[in-house]
Structure 1
């Protein structure tokens, strides 16, 4: 991925969405650019036009926090966009390193997830791979877990599985959120080969992904509510909380819950019952296979 191009496209896209009157500048005549000119951004940020032009062209390594903050204010960046700008500058450093990742899940983390019995609970990374999940989350995201291309991945499901359009009633919103999360992660960890491979795959196979990716939107995904249409239990609106895990930077613990007394709570109870029956059937099948293997070994040794 061309990092200079990432910086350029992000800054130009943010500059293009602001009109002069929004920042108290005269509109004037014969404007040839959408939004602000480079000179206007430079004036608002208190830097020279030449210096801002170099930054916008990708020379962001070594730019001070003060100037980055001034640019963020001039471009009216929100919290997620401001963090993204700082991430881009950090990633441009010649000493930028790939984030260390744990490849196994501690048994205690699975205990914590399994202790959440009233709603789906799972851990994901910045690529939207599902790292660990409780039985409710496996039942909730059953189509994600059924995909055969690599680990269960919410982004791949959203853009490459037709069933996602039914699961997400407002598919367009979910698609935008998914791309914004991936864009944010790409700046946080620019050396993540698996992430770049995923972005390349989605860009190649999905026109919708390519279009949304070119918008350079980013976001923090912490809390709120979403509506889903599950193939087993139907439509439900769930609140969610996403908690960054201090023990593993880059991992997020997400828990879904329904409003007490609501139809969505009834749907979650039904989902829990269905998940339990699936686990029971799976356990019975596994026990039958073990018994069959023992019987075959017994016959072979007779």
Structure 2
């Protein structure tokens, strides 16, 4: 079953990638009107030097690709590093390993203490399904009061799609949300059939047409580092760098840390926000977002 899920995901991923390619960009002549966007199966097969039947069976999840074929497909489909890594994960030779029932991650006390000691640095801990499992006071002040959200609803991607304040907080809400979806797919590549992930995806697909379309695109991205522009209701605009650090004691967990270059308005904004969050009167009323 696990092997079949990997192959099904790989087929859907390959189909999504070929749909993005312009035939002219890969040197193919325009051959009349096309019923679907991108390359045809037979065109991918020719460019990858494999038979159309072989490639069709790959997309249908009926066979497992060999490493040379995967390398050819990565070249033909012009996969970037994250996409290539995701494809190889799905096609891994050890895909017969038993399905791992991954519970909601739990945070060890020492990790929470470390977060709490980062008084001037917003931080939170995220799991592979984007579950938020720990945070510090400044992280809550910057994003939202996570403690008021029930555990089973406390997913970053769910907040992005269902909380109107998140759309106001992020200057590029669409870019942030699409990246979070791509990262969620990437970080669950080794655990197909995860029931909790399927439940979350199903819920959001019903509630939000944008999520349904973006999830179906099969985009992938590694959660590593980047920048974000926030419109914060208390301290105004913040331009912050973020980094994801894997917690060695539980590699499923990543600590997201936000920083600003010293001497910048954003750095001063974080200091002001820390002072605001330290005021008991403000903490009693919760996060302004």
TM bin (shorter chain): 0.7 to 0.9
1-structure distance, mates of 2:46, 2:246: 37
The match for 1:134 is: 136
1:221-248: CA deviation from partner (whole Å, max 9, x where unpaired): 3112101122222221101111233332
Q: TM-score, normalised by structure 2?
A: 0.86
The answer (yes or no) to whether the contact 1:91–1:187 under 8 Å persists in 2 is no
2-structure distance, mates of 1:74, 1:179: 25
1-structure distance, mates of 2:149, 2:233: 16
The answer (yes or no) to whether the contact 1:144–1:154 under 8 Å persists in 2 is no
Cα distance, 1:45 vs structure 2: 2.1
1-structure distance, mates of 2:34, 2:144: 52
Which sits farther off after the overlay, 143-152 or 258-267?
143-152
Task: Quickly say closer, same or farther: Cα 1:148–1:251, change in 2 above 3 A.
Answer: closer
Task: Quickly say closer, same or farther: Cα 1:157–1:102, change in 2 above 3 A.
Answer: closer
The answer (yes or no) to whether the contact 2:105–2:133 under 8 Å persists in 1 is no
Cα distance, 1:125 vs structure 2: 0.6
The answer (yes or no) to whether the contact 2:187–2:222 under 8 Å persists in 1 is no
Specify the structure having the higher radius of gyration (Cα).
1
The partner residue of 2:60 within 39, 57, 60 is: 57
Cα distance, 1:15 vs structure 2: 0.8
Note the residue ranges of structure 1 that are not aligned, 5 or more in a row. Answer: 283-302
Q: How many residues align?
A: 281
1:71-107: CA deviation from partner (whole Å, max 9, x where unpaired): 1111111111112212322499343421655743222
Task: Quickly say closer, same or farther: Cα 1:12–1:104, change in 2 above 3 A.
Answer: closer
2-structure distance, mates of 1:279, 1:66: 63
Q: TM-score, normalised by structure 1?
A: 0.83
2-structure distance, mates of 1:101, 1:281: 31
1:182-223: CA deviation from partner (whole Å, max 9, x where unpaired): 222343321321111111111111122112112221111311
The answer (yes or no) to whether the contact 2:102–2:194 under 8 Å persists in 1 is no
Cα distance, 1:273 vs structure 2: 0.9
The partner residue of 2:22 within 19, 22, 28 is: 19
Counterpart check, 1:45 vs 2:13: no
Counterpart check, 1:160 vs 2:162: yes
Cα distance, 1:170 vs structure 2: 1.6
Note the residue ranges of structure 2 that are not aligned, 5 or more in a row. Answer: 285-289
2-structure distance, mates of 1:202, 1:234: 30
The match for 2:253 is: 251
Which structure has more helix as a fraction of its residues? 1
2-structure distance, mates of 1:187, 1:204: 22
The DSSP-based 3-state class of the residue aligned with 1:139 is helix
Task: Quickly say closer, same or farther: Cα 1:70–1:27, change in 2 above 3 A.
Answer: same
Task: Quickly say closer, same or farther: Cα 1:145–1:73, change in 2 above 3 A.
Answer: farther
The DSSP-based 3-state class of the residue aligned with 1:142 is coil
The answer (yes or no) to whether the contact 1:7–1:56 under 8 Å persists in 2 is yes
The answer (yes or no) to whether the contact 2:105–2:253 under 8 Å persists in 1 is no
1-structure distance, mates of 2:61, 2:114: 43
Cα distance, 1:255 vs structure 2: 0.7
The DSSP-based 3-state class of the residue aligned with 2:171 is coil
Higher relative contact order, chain-length normalized (CA < 8 Å, sep 6+): 2
The answer (yes or no) to whether the contact 1:183–1:218 under 8 Å persists in 2 is yes
Cα distance, 1:31 vs structure 2: 4.8
Task: Quickly say closer, same or farther: Cα 1:181–1:216, change in 2 above 3 A.
Answer: same
The match for 1:104 is: 106
